[in-house]
A and B are shown apart, each in its own frame.
Chain A
């Protein structure tokens, strides 16, 4: 086995922010007072918030130390399934920070913001080309807000046709945000079970779909990492009943340049720019969740929309059937700049990215088969799902293996999801991992599996080299302490 990458470094203890500092220090240069002080309305004045005063070096040391307790993609492979933790190109950060982008006020007159508008218009076109759909909105701030936007579009479509529908089909492999987004629109989620191959069977949808059902929310590739091969027939059933097909496209990283989702019968689709299009996840956002639709649904997209205007572009609210606004302004423009930079840097290589993402996942699956239990032994797309069934006899669970992997210097896979697989370990290597790094990850899991059989206490007590030992989540929930 090659040398273990996870090791013990020098980590610093660091107090809470307000356990540092001293009243009267300052970490920010304030402009000179160049006007006279004005009288204030005493009855409205507060005491000022209780925020500690720190010098600039103290602030820098505080956050530098905190950052060293964190694991990012730049640290090592981060095979968190469904999250597409691919490399985040550094040039994208520079592009978004350009003063013409970062300094742009959202209400600038269109003549003075042509660069931003053109970038948005082109990004919409690229995303339409990549997915096969006709029109896009970039306004949703994340995947789940994209789902909500899609559901609102469905809702508005049926309302426009004087058609009231109360239900929506959501397969058991769907991400939790799917039923939650449907519920926000007042739809009752009707679960659909996937078949023995881990994909939806047409007959199940034939049985569930009726004229009271608005449609289906289908994730393709699904959360088991399989392509929904029957999607077209399923879409035909849904359409026959007047329904619409929503596709959760958060897993588009498997399909770019290969699949035409319009040909698959998809009417509405969301993408996660913070997955497929390489923008950093930031420890939980900001993201961007564009929604794409077929022509007939275009009038329902959120406003404002970027439209051509003579020789340039402008924002227009003049779409009377629109669902309205979903974000205060135009969405997370800074994230769009990074995704645009990525698409322009990749060009036709986007297809190669998808091919290599799928190659990496299949390679990982083959290498780990036998080390971990593989519940569905068939070719996968961008991710593969294992279970802890082989370790259960030693009393070792998915969680314990995940914690032990940290000691080897890897971020664990997604655990206990999807729910259809008991004790799931869901792994998505992405295309930016090299064969060598995948090999090292496999070696680490082999070593963990061996330890599970020979010295299970090592796993039960893991992790050993992180900033903290295992944390008491039950106590945190029983007596929530959210502020200090």
Chain B
């Protein structure tokens, strides 16, 4: 096997040094009854070339990834990724290193993570950020646990317009705490109904997503005012950070935590992962926040350098009293998103966001003309809900699939009231012709 360097000669020399007769001698500590009675039943090893064939076959069986015109979003987005992103993040000095425990040998990762923290803090309008979480869902769950620790209250309010999968993850994480989860309903406009929030004094946190699952931009300033009056925090989740190239970021609207998924920033969809959980907050919560932090410092000669810092919040020092159990995070994806943002630049992000917006408005307009309706009136970013004129959205979706189009995500699975609705997404990758094709199929 080409990954294993040992020759028979090496093995016998090494055994001689250890005083063992055979490698099996090292395993005599394993009691007989714990040994495997037979060899592992695994398929025979493949050569590199056979592996290529096998993997090509599996990859080609994912026809949905390659053979369709897709308008799917709902937490995973198709954006152009410049070649520089996989090329630079793939450099093996970055890719094959461990968590930067020894800073003098890891300044590359450390400076890149410091820059990532800065870029995402600026993107979300917050003061500080950690070096990443697993994904947007666990970032929201950890934000909620942080709010429970800070406020010592025992209820959390989560908008029904937060991605249903994120809400499920929140429920999983909150379950052992015994705290109750209050669901805030959705208004006709597609925004969250904040009316019950004002009367829930025990609420540690209001969790809203903006743009929300329906693509609608939430009224975060009002939510912030109400929850702050109750002594709680506002956690603003997001699945599409490109929106902050156009819309005001959550930090400017009073959010205490901005947390979400960064997959849109130069990371392929990869069937849902890996992505990167972005976690940003206010400086005053630095010692309560979960996750690794990279901080700026100096070396003995006074030169600028970077280290992992405030590790006393973390599990390897504080063990069961840690602010979180997270250890390995999503560093290389965070690096990818930093390379992406660096490539795009502030000016490019603005233009890209507007392009996403303009194209979405184009599709909305043309679908309306074709007889579809838009049930929600609030401004959106690159996603919107469309109601099909007749019948069930699943059926319409299936019909369009026959024509080679993935017409977004049917919403009935998550919202029975929206059985006749599709969630459609348009990014810069969709051309006018692509959208015209969808509209003409809808017309026919």
Q: Which residues of A contact B125 (CB under 8 A)?
A: 46, 49
Q: Is B201 an interface residue (CB 8 A)?
A: no
Inter-chain CA distance A482–B269, complex, in Å, is 29
With A129-B41, A330-B272 as given contacts, are A352 and B328 in contact (CB-CB < 8 Å)? Answer: no
Q: Which residues of B contact A103 (CB under 8 A)?
A: 62, 65-66, 78, 268-269
B-contact bits for A75-107, CB 8 A (1 contact / 0 none) = 100101001011111010111111111111111
With A329-B273, A471-B104, A477-B309 as given contacts, are A280 and B95 in contact (CB-CB < 8 Å)? Answer: yes
With A231-B34, A327-B169, A328-B165 as given contacts, are A72 and B93 in contact (CB-CB < 8 Å)? Answer: yes
Q: Which residue of B lies closest to A47 (CB)?
A: B248
With A132-B36, A186-B176 as given contacts, are A145 and B274 in contact (CB-CB < 8 Å)? Answer: no
Q: Which residues of A contact B333 (CB under 8 A)?
A: 282, 285-286
Chain-B contact segment, one of A18-26, A202-210, A389-397, A449-457:
A18-26
A-contact bits for B154-195, CB 8 A (1 contact / 0 none) = 000000000101101101110111100000000000000000
Q: Which residues of B contact A263 (CB under 8 A)?
A: 33-34
Q: Which residues of A contact B273 (CB under 8 A)?
A: 106, 141, 286, 327-335
Cβ 8 A contact of A471, one of B68, B299, B343: B299
Q: Which residue of B lies closest to A470 (CB)?
A: B300
Q: Which residues of A contact B173 (CB under 8 A)?
A: 184
Do B345 and A347 have beta carbons less than 8 Å apart? Answer: no
Do B99 and A284 have beta carbons less than 8 Å apart? Answer: yes
Do B25 and A80 have beta carbons less than 8 Å apart? Answer: no
Do B293 and A482 have beta carbons less than 8 Å apart? Answer: yes
Q: Which residue of B lies closest to A465 (CB)?
A: B104
Do A143 and B327 have beta carbons less than 8 Å apart? Answer: yes
Chain-A contact segment, one of B227-235, B348-356, B368-376, B383-391:
B348-356
Inter-chain CA distance A64–B91, complex, in Å, is 8
Q: Is B102 an interface residue (CB 8 A)?
A: yes
- Nearest-neighbour CB distance to chain B for A29, whole angstroms, equals 7
Q: Is A257 an interface residue (CB 8 A)?
A: yes
Do B172 and A325 have beta carbons less than 8 Å apart? Answer: yes
Do A27 and B332 have beta carbons less than 8 Å apart? Answer: no
Cβ 8 A contact of A334, one of B45, B268, B346: B268
Do B268 and A144 have beta carbons less than 8 Å apart? Answer: no
Do B328 and A281 have beta carbons less than 8 Å apart? Answer: yes
Q: How many residues of A contact B (CB 8 A)?
A: 201
Do A142 and B134 have beta carbons less than 8 Å apart? Answer: yes
Q: Which residues of B contact A95 (CB under 8 A)?
A: 51-52, 55, 59
Interface core residue of A70, A74, A103, A109 (most chain B CB under 10 Å):
A70
Cβ 8 A contact of B26, one of A177, A181, A362: A362
- Interface residues in B121-167 by Cβ distance below 8 A to A read 121-123, 125, 127-129, 131-132, 134-138, 145, 163, 165-166
Q: Is B418 an interface residue (CB 8 A)?
A: no
Q: Is B198 an interface residue (CB 8 A)?
A: no
Q: Which residues of B contact A272 (CB under 8 A)?
A: 328
Inter-chain CA distance A46–B121, complex, in Å, is 15
A-contact bits for B250-293, CB 8 A (1 contact / 0 none) = 00100000000100000011111111100000000010000011
Q: How many residues of B contact A (CB 8 A)?
A: 206
Q: Which residues of A contact B69 (CB under 8 A)?
A: none
Cβ 8 A contact of A62, one of B19, B58, B342: B342
Q: Which residues of B contact A34 (CB under 8 A)?
A: 431-432
Q: Is A307 an interface residue (CB 8 A)?
A: no
Q: Which residues of A contact B275 (CB under 8 A)?
A: 328
Cβ 8 A contact of B64, one of A80, A104, A185: A104
Cβ 8 A contact of A49, one of B95, B178, B346: B346
Do A432 and B317 have beta carbons less than 8 Å apart? Answer: no
Q: Is B443 an interface residue (CB 8 A)?
A: no
- Interface residues in A292-335 by Cβ distance below 8 A to B read 302, 323-335
Inter-chain CA distance A24–B117, complex, in Å, is 23
Cβ 8 A contact of B342, one of A17, A227, A231: A17
Q: Is A256 an interface residue (CB 8 A)?
A: yes
Inter-chain CA distance A341–B43, complex, in Å, is 12
Q: Which residues of A contact B346 (CB under 8 A)?
A: 23, 48-53
Q: Which residues of A contact B51 (CB under 8 A)?
A: 91, 95, 341, 344-345
Q: Which residue of A lies closest to B126 (CB)?
A: A483
Do A49 and B168 have beta carbons less than 8 Å apart? Answer: no
With A91-B51, A97-B86, A469-B299 as given contacts, are A51 and B62 in contact (CB-CB < 8 Å)? Answer: no
Q: Which residues of B contact A351 (CB under 8 A)?
A: 39-40
Q: Which residue of A lies closest to B14 (CB)?
A: A363
With A334-B273, A362-B26 as given contacts, are A484 and B64 in contact (CB-CB < 8 Å)? Answer: no
- Nearest-neighbour CB distance to chain A for B107, whole angstroms, equals 4
Do A285 and B298 have beta carbons less than 8 Å apart? Answer: no
With A36-B358, A112-B64 as given contacts, are A345 and B102 in contact (CB-CB < 8 Å)? Answer: no
Q: Is the interface of A mostly helix, strand, loop or mixed?
A: loop
Q: Which residues of A contact B37 (CB under 8 A)?
A: 260
Q: Which residues of A contact B19 (CB under 8 A)?
A: 366
Do B355 and A33 have beta carbons less than 8 Å apart? Answer: yes
- Nearest-neighbour CB distance to chain B for A282, whole angstroms, equals 3
With A332-B274, A344-B46 as given contacts, are A104 and B62 in contact (CB-CB < 8 Å)? Answer: yes
- Interface residues in A409-451 by Cβ distance below 8 A to B read 411-412, 414, 417, 431-435
Inter-chain CA distance A97–B57, complex, in Å, is 14
Do A359 and B15 have beta carbons less than 8 Å apart? Answer: yes
Do B55 and A341 have beta carbons less than 8 Å apart? Answer: yes
Do B327 and A177 have beta carbons less than 8 Å apart? Answer: yes
Inter-chain CA distance A355–B95, complex, in Å, is 26
- Nearest-neighbour CB distance to chain A for B117, whole angstroms, equals 5
Q: Which residues of B contact A483 (CB under 8 A)?
A: 114, 117-118, 121-122, 127-129
Do B345 and A52 have beta carbons less than 8 Å apart? Answer: yes
Q: Which residues of A contact B10 (CB under 8 A)?
A: 434-435
Q: Which residues of A contact B292 (CB under 8 A)?
A: 284
Cβ 8 A contact of B105, one of A62, A179, A406: A406
Do B315 and A177 have beta carbons less than 8 Å apart? Answer: yes
Interface core residue of B297, B341, B357, B409 (most chain A CB under 10 Å):
B297
- Nearest-neighbour CB distance to chain A for B310, whole angstroms, equals 6
Q: Is A270 an interface residue (CB 8 A)?
A: no
Q: Which residues of A contact B429 (CB under 8 A)?
A: 31
Inter-chain CA distance A468–B104, complex, in Å, is 6
Q: Which residue of A lies closest to B46 (CB)?
A: A344
Q: Which residues of B contact A366 (CB under 8 A)?
A: 17-19
Inter-chain CA distance A323–B60, complex, in Å, is 33
Q: Which residues of A contact B332 (CB under 8 A)?
A: 280, 282-286
Q: Which residues of A contact B392 (CB under 8 A)?
A: none
- Nearest-neighbour CB distance to chain B for A456, whole angstroms, equals 17
Q: Is A56 an interface residue (CB 8 A)?
A: yes
- Nearest-neighbour CB distance to chain B for A158, whole angstroms, equals 11
Q: Which residue of B lies closest to A289 (CB)?
A: B328
Q: Is B217 an interface residue (CB 8 A)?
A: yes
Q: Which residues of A contact B30 (CB under 8 A)?
A: 227, 229, 258-259
Do B98 and A60 have beta carbons less than 8 Å apart? Answer: no
Q: Which residue of A lies closest to B266 (CB)?
A: A28
Q: Which residues of B contact A286 (CB under 8 A)?
A: 134, 273-274, 276, 328-333
A-contact bits for B67-111, CB 8 A (1 contact / 0 none) = 010101011101010101011101111111111111111111101
Query: Can you list 28 A-B contacts with CB-CB less than 8 angstroms, sorted by A residue number?
Result: A37-B358, A46-B252, A48-B246, A51-B119, A60-B88, A66-B112, A69-B111, A100-B61, A101-B59, A104-B270, A108-B271, A116-B58, A260-B36, A281-B97, A286-B274, A286-B329, A324-B175, A326-B172, A327-B169, A328-B136, A335-B274, A345-B1, A345-B46, A348-B42, A468-B104, A468-B299, A477-B309, A482-B117
Going nearest first, the 5 A-B pairs with the smallest beta carbon separation are: A329-B272, A112-B64, A282-B332, A106-B272, A100-B59
Q: 5 other contacts beyond A70-B109, A105-B271, A148-B325, with CB at 8 A cut-off?
A: A40-B357, A60-B88, A143-B327, A189-B320, A286-B273
